[in-house]
Structure 1
Amino acid sequence: MTTFKPTTIEPTIFESLESEVRSYSRQWPTVFETAKGAWLRDEDGKEYLDFFAGAGALNYGHNNPVLKKALIEYIAGDGITHSLDMATVAKRRFLETFAMKVLEPRGLDYKVQFPGPTGANTVEAALKLARKVTGRESIINFTNAFHGMTLGALSVTGNAFKRAGAGIPLVHTTPMPFDNYFDGVMEDFHWFERVLDDSGSGLNRPAAVIVETVQGEGGVNVARPEWLRALADLCSRRGILLIVDDVQMGCGRTGPFFSFEVAGIEPDIVTLSKSIGGYGMPMALTLFKPELDVWAPGEHNGTFRGNNPSFVTAQVALEHYWSDDRLEVSTLEKGDKIHAEFSKLADAFDGVTTRGRGLVQGLAFENAESAGKVCQLAFDNGLLTETSGPTDGVVKLLPPLTITDEELDHGLRIIADATATVCS
């Protein structure tokens, strides 16, 4: 008598050794090996068009040849890699280029701090600085905001699932409704101004307000320019610092270099990370008005705030892509193309709407499960997209800004076919 043993599949090294906290590898179950431009390839040779772009860290695409050449030459020449906050040639060149290509053309007078390599690092620095400058503890954040996973950044994040991971109360912050949170039934900032003025409201006068102009993780919620202007005016009148978190939406994602340019405002503090490194290299900046530079030497530091290879690729990215307005114009045109195609889908299927600005675009589904199904079908057909929003009901697109029209059309066809399959 033959005994048949059930077939067992050995777990991969990722499953057996890596923490259960991993997430993207679950929704895209393959092993990637190479990448170039807007494409990734897995170890079996299958190609995937990337409408995710490292969650916005790869605005200039994978292995951008202009940036790669500069990086290889720097490393081959024994350029300094690690320097904490020491002065280096690479840092000087980056700062000079950042001033010349970004700050001066926009009339912005900001000091530059290197707080550490991630978006959460720069948000933490911004919150600490605002509290130090004002002597006040409370921070105002907004519904559906996302600012990072460290405790300070998490305290101003809205997502209940992510907040629960802290394991402790997240205090000294107060959420206010983001633009159109009440679908237009409440006057903008009526509640905020009322509780600020009411001595019985229990609201501590805040040190700062932190806001995203487009809430990417929150569901591609776009703040109107007039709403942002009103917020900036309210903060100015009340002596409250305004922090704009441009970690995901900066570096041209919405068209202009800074996402707040469309509103014509000048925040007191700006946080940048993700694509500021140019090549997907870790780097972050905290920008603030000179009068706010009250740090004592070494009062806020970090081992990896002096990542010189990032200075190199960031400098070249600014010189190559921000010496004129071609990238900005192209980004807005491609965003219009996505919006037009998504509007067709919204017209064709009930419960589907579209929102976005520049090359952050969302296709929202009344039935939230549909968004996940569309993303799964897209992956099966060679396209990387993710969901966002409090119920993951939005298909969010973050393609590289350098994507070609042909590649963009190819990806949009995949999404259209997937949406038709799910919604028909």
Structure 2
Amino acid sequence: MIPTSEKTAPDMSVFETLESEVRSYCRSFPTVFEKAQGYKLWDTQGREYIDFFAGAGALNYGHNHPAMKKKLVDYLMGSNIIHSLDMATKAKEAFLKRFNDIILKPRQMEYKVMFPGPTGANTVESALKLARKVTGRETVISFTHAFHGMTLGALSITGNSFKRHGAGVPLNHAVSMPYENYLGDDIDSLTLLERYLEDKGSGVALPAAIILETVQGEGGINVASPEWLKQVEKICRRWDILLIVDDVQAGCGRTGPFFSFEKAGIKPDIVCLSKSIGGYGLPMALTLIKPEFDEWAPGEHNGTFRGHNLAFVAATESLSFWETDALTRETLRKGEKTKQSLQQIADQHPDLDPVVRGRGLMVGIAFNQTDFAGKVCKEAFSRGLIMETSGPEDEVAKLLPPLTIDDEGLDRGLAILEESIAVVKASLEQ
């Protein structure tokens, strides 16, 4: 692995000149990437990087998985259907059957599968629209530090003020309530929610839905306990409110089980999936709907790219990982190993007041110093590790390695992170 500092700086002029100022990740990772395999990437100058970012959770199975690649190449060489809107195709049929047989049936789940479009925001928007249609109500309750997407409906239930401000218009028909532990460990945040629903003078109308992430990724790796999730479900059942779980980033095995809510034993009315459901990093999203709530009229929600057959092919192959519980067990083992390593790092720097958070391989370490996590990620990149920050103040160094990463890669990445924290701390003390 060749540190960035030992080679000439990459030429980013094309991107700086021709691409919009809205570009983000290429500022955090200022190089031109060329190749990728498994948990590694290489840039045009031959530098090797360990990937603790994994496409923001879209590459749970790593880059260019060989079995998925073969399926895609064979499909392309056969002049098969690529674009199909929501027409019936063999590729879609194969995915639906396999998803039902491998994911839904073994978990005794009965959902209708909707293809709302290629992104996480698409599935969230469809879930909000359907909840409002089914209940005839307008308000949706979300939680502090939530992130659900960048389109207007999704932004209305997103907590981050910077992202909300980008809408440029009022974001209505949504109410934010405190997530678990937002008010401190000794305060039950759901007591406030229930009181608002009970009191006709609270100013909060009975909502169509409550939407939540079981682990808030962009919000700072905030983890909801099974007990808290069960209580939210009870509130929904009491008040005839639809429960929507946004599993766009936390799903597809990121926390261990395929669905992040399995440990809690809850049964959401609607589930939002995207990112790694496409298997290979290809755009794909699903909205899972309990059959009794599938009240859509034909074409009432649609999109040009909701029939991406290459994604169906890769997604179908990716489900092979879920024929046994091996990936779940390995993810939980690696997750615990990662958290232990992060805690050891945290114990070395008590003055930074670091806090280790997460479930499975969705983990992070929060710092009490402004910009510290950002500086750590920048230093890590210079040493060959790709990772990002999260949280409302970018105070969390966030780890999302591919679930398929081996122990050697995990150890190398964690060692770079440990070095980077020490270097940044030392530089600030000078």
TM-score by length of 2: 0.95
Hey, what's the Cα distance between the residues in 1 that align with 2:385 and 2:11? Answer: 28
- 1:363-401 CA-to-partner distances (Å, cap 9, x unmatched) read 110113211111111100000010000000000000000
CA contact (8 A) 1:188 1:227 kept: no
Paired AA for residue 425 in structure 2: C
1:349 to 2:359 alignment: no
Aligned to 1:128: 129
Paired AA for residue 345 in structure 2: L
Aligned to 2:192: 191
- Secondary structure in 2 matching 1:141: strand
Aligned to 1:144: 145
Aligned to 1:239: 240
* Residues 10 and 293 of structure 1: CA distance in aligned 2, closer, same or farther (over 3 Å): closer
Paired AA for residue 50 in structure 2: L
Paired AA for residue 378 in structure 1: A
Aligned to 1:399: 401
Paired AA for residue 310 in structure 2: P
Hey, what's the Cα distance between the residues in 2 that align with 1:115 and 1:411? Answer: 36
Paired AA for residue 333 in structure 2: E
Aligned to 1:369: 371
Q: CA RMSD in A?
A: 1.1
Structure 1, unmatched stretches of 5+, are: 1-8
Aligned to 2:337: 337
- Secondary structure in 2 matching 1:154: helix
CA contact (8 A) 2:156 2:171 kept: yes
1:11 CA drift (Å)? 7.0
CA contact (8 A) 2:12 2:30 kept: no
Hey, what's the Cα distance between the residues in 2 that align with 1:230 and 1:45? Answer: 51
Paired AA for residue 282 in structure 2: M
Identity of aligned residues (%): 62
Please identify, of 186-195 and 238-247, the stretch whose mean Cα deviation from structure 2 is larger.
Answer: 186-195
Paired AA for residue 58 in structure 2: A
Hey, what's the Cα distance between the residues in 2 that align with 1:186 and 1:35? Answer: 46
1:210 to 2:211 alignment: yes
CA contact (8 A) 2:179 2:189 kept: no
1:422 CA drift (Å)? 2.4
1:324 to 2:320 alignment: no
Paired AA for residue 389 in structure 1: G
One of 409, 412, 417 as aligned partner of 1:415: 417
Hey, what's the Cα distance between the residues in 2 that align with 1:27 and 1:10? Answer: 15
Paired AA for residue 74 in structure 1: Y
Aligned to 2:272: 271
1:10 CA drift (Å)? 9.2
Paired AA for residue 167 in structure 2: A
1:421 CA drift (Å)? 2.0
CA contact (8 A) 1:52 1:385 kept: yes
- 1:65-109 CA-to-partner distances (Å, cap 9, x unmatched) read 010000000110111100111111110000000000000000000
- 1:343-380 CA-to-partner distances (Å, cap 9, x unmatched) read 11121112111010000110110113211111111100
TM-score by length of 1: 0.97
- 1:185-237 CA-to-partner distances (Å, cap 9, x unmatched) read 32231111111111111111100000000000000000011000110111111
CA contact (8 A) 1:141 1:175 kept: yes
- 1:110-149 CA-to-partner distances (Å, cap 9, x unmatched) read 0000000000000000000000000000000000000000
Hey, what's the Cα distance between the residues in 1 that align with 2:360 and 2:190? Answer: 26
Aligned to 1:382: 384
1:13 CA drift (Å)? 1.4
- 1:18-71 CA-to-partner distances (Å, cap 9, x unmatched) read 000001101111110111110111000001100000000000100010100000
* Residues 10 and 81 of structure 1: CA distance in aligned 2, closer, same or farther (over 3 Å): closer
CA contact (8 A) 2:139 2:206 kept: yes
Paired AA for residue 290 in structure 2: K
Aligned to 2:4: none
Aligned to 1:5: none
CA contact (8 A) 1:368 1:394 kept: no
Please identify, of 91-100 and 176-185, the stretch whose mean Cα deviation from structure 2 is larger.
Answer: 176-185
CA contact (8 A) 2:102 2:322 kept: yes
Aligned to 1:220: 221
Aligned to 1:3: none
Hey, what's the Cα distance between the residues in 2 that align with 1:301 and 1:376? Answer: 40
Paired AA for residue 132 in structure 2: R
1:41 to 2:42 alignment: yes
Paired AA for residue 348 in structure 1: Q
CA contact (8 A) 2:210 2:241 kept: yes
1:102 to 2:103 alignment: yes
Paired AA for residue 382 in structure 1: G
Aligned to 2:6: none
1:282-293 paired onto structure 2 within 5 Å: 282-293=283-294
Aligned length: 415
Hey, what's the Cα distance between the residues in 2 that align with 1:195 and 1:407? Answer: 48
Hey, what's the Cα distance between the residues in 1 that align with 2:180 and 2:391? Answer: 15
- Structure 1 runs of 4+ aligned residues shifted over 3 Å read none
Hey, what's the Cα distance between the residues in 2 that align with 1:359 and 1:286? Answer: 24
Hey, what's the Cα distance between the residues in 1 that align with 2:269 and 2:92? Answer: 24
1:54-93 paired onto structure 2 within 5 Å: 54-93=55-94
Hey, what's the Cα distance between the residues in 1 that align with 2:196 and 2:265? Answer: 27
